[in-house]
Amino acid sequence: MPLPASVSILIPMRNESANVNEILKSVDLQKNLESFEIITLNDSSTDNTSDLITKFNFNSRSIAIEGKTLPTGWLGKNYACHQLALASDAKYLVFIDADVRLSPSAISAAIKTMELNDWDYISPYPAQIAETPLELLIQPLLQWSWFATVPLSIAQRFRIPAMAVANGQFLIVKRTSYFISGGHEKIKNEVIDDIELARLLLKFGFKGGVAEGSAIASCRMYQSATELINGYRKSLWRAFGSPFGSIVAISLLTLSSIMPIIYAMSGSLIGWVGFLAIVTSRFITAFRTKSRWESALLHPLSVALLIALICWSWIGKIRGDLKWRDRKV
């Protein structure tokens, strides 16, 4: 049965010529939606993103808007999402990154899950596509970090902002909840906008959470090692709240993921038990989330690289030289 509620699919794009056709095809083919529109925003692209959007042959109602000049105090994606939300009057706002690919029933299935749980927002976590060696070592940690370490049922039931998990690659929120909470305008300079938006919604008493979305969505975030390093560098400094939070996270990651193999290699049985336990959690996560499993046995190396990226991100923050998409963060 088609979903009767109105839906706006909102796609911010900046220099996304490699993704335009595939993401638009993906959302244009959505099924089981009685009333939906696709709104794209070209965010001052210097490639042919705007031309590709204009030339795309939509079957659905579509609106293409040109982003305004980025105001002082805003980060680029946050301002783009803010403009997209203002351009829509639908009941559900569906924010999607250009590198995401959806199954034909992805949006209707996600909204039905929202309605079933009486949620105000949902963040279906896409399968993370990893192909290069560095991607294979780092990207599976995304699902593992929330699937294996965050007690989601507790966080979602009691609406605990500090334990909020979300992924801005694919995030759906009721329009009323979005604007009552302040939306992206309230978090205009937050580099980790997805988690901060989820925290904001929870603080205002709204309900929602992350959902395992690998069956309905996929995403390849980065196309090269350089892109991956720069992408994580721009935001990891903020991931744990403060320098102290980063130190605590690094300490816990070292104790749980690196020390066991060190003790194991020195002949400790407890070390082997700890190593096998953490590797097992990686395999379970990979199975449940359809993510890559090949690097599970290299988990200590993956975590060591992640710690290096956290430190490199803080160095960039201290130096003030963090950039993303040619804009200073």
**Section 201-214 average pLDDT:** 92
Sheet containing 100-102: give its strands across: 100-102, 217-219, 127-128
**Section 204-227 average pLDDT:** 92
pLDDT band at 18 (very low <50, low <70, confident <90, very high): very high
Burial class (CB in 10 A: 0-12, 13-18, 19+), 122: buried
Give the position of tokens 């002082």. Answer: 72
In the prediction, which pLDDT does 240 show?
87
In the prediction, which pLDDT does 95 show?
98
> What is the number of alpha carbons within 13 Å of residue 253 lying toward its C-beta?
21
106-141 residue pLDDT tens? 999 999 999 999 999 999 999 999 999 999 999 999
Give Cβ neighbours of residue 179 (< 8 Å, ≥ 6 apart).
85
- To the nearest 10 degrees (0 to 180), the angle between helices 299-319 and 269-289 is 80
> Token pair for residue 55?
């030339």
- pTM to 2 decimals? 0.92
pLDDT band at 152 (very low <50, low <70, confident <90, very high): low
In the prediction, which pLDDT does 149 show?
65
In the prediction, which pLDDT does 151 show?
53
31-89 residue pLDDT tens? 999 889 999 999 999 999 999 999 999 988 999 999 999 999 999 999 999 999 999 99
C-beta separation of 230 from 139 below 8 A: no
In this model, does residue 161 exceed pLDDT 80? Answer: no
In the prediction, which pLDDT does 271 show?
96
